Amino acid sequence: MSRRRIPDVVIRRLPLYLRILDDLDHTETPIISSQELGARSGVTPGQVRKDLSFFGVFGKQGVGYNTGNLREELRKILRLHQQVAVGLVGVGNLGTALIRYNVAREKPYPEGTGLKLVAAFDKDEKKVGRKISGIEVFSLINLPELVKSLKLSVIILTVPAEAAPGVLNHCIQAGVKAFLNFAPTKLTAPPNVRIHHSDVMLELESLAYFR
């Protein structure tokens, strides 16, 4: 089935299901029901079954899902059975914190698979050549050649709002088609480019309503 026919909200829930399965001891919990997977992920059992049905039949009615098999199937659906090389642009306070967080949180998947932060970029030449948690900082000028040599397919943007559109276009021209944007501005891109936005201040301001 074409990926474009699957609702975005479904794709966004798959990593949550995968995280739950990763945290389980598959020898102690060889089978997981849609009820348990739903309870752990905060959705209904019916929603779990509906989400997974977009990609095939993975369990048996009245029995549940083999936790190891479902984990591997979800990794394949999300293309995490291959290595997904990630870069980060903007090595300020937020960028530095995200580098350290991502390196510390990388999952112990087999060599050559899963998300892996491999390079950082900044326009400030004083930062170029530094290493943060083992990740080298390169000049933004060198991004196009490193996108190809490192096979970068996802870029995290942690640049100021005014710089974000130009950096985004620079990355798109280099061949990157997937972005996680932390810059406090809405970015637009061609239809074949995907951008997910994460604005911490907007989330905090919405939480102020509930205090």
Going by pLDDT thresholds of 50, 70 and 90, the confidence category of residue 1 is: very low
Tell me how far apart the alpha carbons of residues 94 and 82 are, in angstroms, rounded to a whole number. Answer: 28
The span from the CA of 41 to the CA of 20, in Å, is: 8
CATH architecture of structural domain 3-77: Orthogonal Bundle (1.10)
Contact call for residues 135 and 118 (beta carbons, < 8 A): yes
CA neighbours closer than 13 Å in the CB half-sphere of residue 18: 19
State the maximum Cα–Cα separation within the chain, in Å, rounded to a whole number.
61
CATH of the domain spanning 83-204: 3.40.50.720
Q: Given a cut of 50, is residue 2 above it in pLDDT?
A: no
CA angle 106, 156, 20 (to 5 degrees): 35
At 165, list the tokens. Answer: 């559109």
Question: What confidence tens digit (pLDDT) does each residue in 44-98 have?
Answer: 999 999 999 999 888 777 789 999 999 999 999 999 999 999 999 999 999 999 9
pLDDT (tens digit per residue) in 144-174: 999 999 999 999 999 999 999 999 999 999 9
pLDDT digit string, tens, across residues 110-141: 778 899 999 999 999 999 999 999 999 999 99
CA distance 34 to 48: 6
Q: Which two tokens stand for residue 184?
A: 């406090």
Q: pTM value?
A: 0.89
Domain extents for the chain?
A: 3-77, 83-204
Q: Are 88 and 95 in contact (CB under 8 A)?
A: yes
Tell me what pLDDT residue 109 has.
79
